[in-house]
Amino acid sequence: MTPEAEFNLGGVVKEQLLELQEFTLLLWRGFRNIFQRPFYFDDTLRQMDVIGVGSLPIVILTGFFTGAVMALQLSATLAAYGQVERTGELVAISLVRELGPVLASLMVAGRNASGMASELGSMVVTEQIDAMRALGTDPIKKLVTPRLVATLIMNFFLAIIADIFGVIGGWIYAVLGIGLDSRQFWSSAFYALDFRDLVQGLTKPVVFGIIVAAVGCYFGLRARGGTEGVGRATTQAVVAASLLIIMSDFVISRVLITFIGQLH
């Protein structure tokens, strides 16, 4: 390897480490400000409405049709083994453990990480952030913390809603598409879930919500170069948030399985 290549590689590594440091610092300051005055409750409630209520239709549709598709595919596979009655069980487990939290969070990331990045990026390039600092207002506390808290809370409930409508979608197809008895579907779905499944299903959306808000705010606050820079930050936020959600899903699953035992 030539000295120039080594130098460039070292520069890239240093740049990535610096970005990781800045991202971690932003996340730390965002959480620390939750417990410090002043408390921007109005901003938090406004963000909860934008993030939670605004994302509700797409999360419901995603969950519903995901459940229906799962029932379609699983019932065809189970029929070969004479186990069609277990369709509800597999649909419920798959949705609660993995697909509900992950797909809901990806929808939230696509809609809200981009929105946060574009909104904060526009404030950066128009020097509104500098004006806030000049007036003695902490931009992290005013802009990042409310979005962080709102996304964490609302993503938790959106994942639950995605799970519910996913099971409903699977139930509707199971009854109408393969003639499965409703009572049989719901009993197998409920009895299949245990405490370990719920721990996974309720832990992941909290972590994913933090990722969505932190990534969206981070790329928005570091936007440079006018409207072109804002657009670039928006794209980077969506891509980074989606990748981190998928990668962290594996890590969380591995950790939880290790601590709470093998699943089923």
> Nearest CA to 111 among 181, 47, 157?
47
Q: Residue 92 in contact with residue 191, Cβ under 8 Å?
A: no
Report yes or no on 239 lying in a domain: yes
> Nearest CA to 52 among 154, 163, 170?
154
The residue-averaged pLDDT of 135-147 equals: 83
Report yes or no on 18 lying in a domain: no
Residue 68 structural domain: 41-254
Separation CA 217–CA 140 (nearest Å): 9
Dig out the tokens for 246 from the structure. Answer: 């998928």
Number of domains in the chain: 1
> Nearest CA to 60 among 8, 17, 103?
103
pLDDT in tens, 19-67: 778 878 877 887 787 787 777 788 888 888 888 888 899 999 999 999 9
Global pTM value: 0.85
Torsion of the alpha carbons at 246, 248, 250 and 251, rounded to the nearest 10: 170
Q: Residue 209 in contact with residue 156, Cβ under 8 Å?
A: yes
Residue 15 C-beta-side C-alpha neighbours within 13 Å: 6
Assign 145 a pLDDT band (cuts: 50, 70, 90): confident
pLDDT surpassing 90 at residue 222: no
Q: What SS3 state is found at 208?
A: helix
Report yes or no on 152 lying in a domain: yes
Q: Residue 211 in contact with residue 149, Cβ under 8 Å?
A: no
The residue-averaged pLDDT of 87-110 equals: 88
**In percent, how much of the chain has pLDDT > 90?**
25
Report yes or no on 9 lying in a domain: no
Separation CA 31–CA 26 (nearest Å): 9
> Nearest CA to 124 among 145, 107, 139?
139
Report yes or no on 217 lying in a domain: yes
Q: Residue 203 in contact with residue 252, Cβ under 8 Å?
A: yes
Report yes or no on 32 lying in a domain: no
- Could you tell me which residue, 136 or 71, shows the higher pLDDT? 71
Q: Considering just the CA atoms, what is the radius of gyration of the chain in Å? A: 22
The residue-averaged pLDDT of 131-149 equals: 83
| Eight-class DSSP state of 39 | P
End-to-end CA distance of the chain: 50
Q: Residue 66 in contact with residue 29, Cβ under 8 Å?
A: no
Residue 48 C-beta-side C-alpha neighbours within 13 Å: 13
Report yes or no on 2 lying in a domain: no
Contacts of 144 (CB under 8 A, 6+ apart): 26, 29, 30, 33, 213, 217, 221
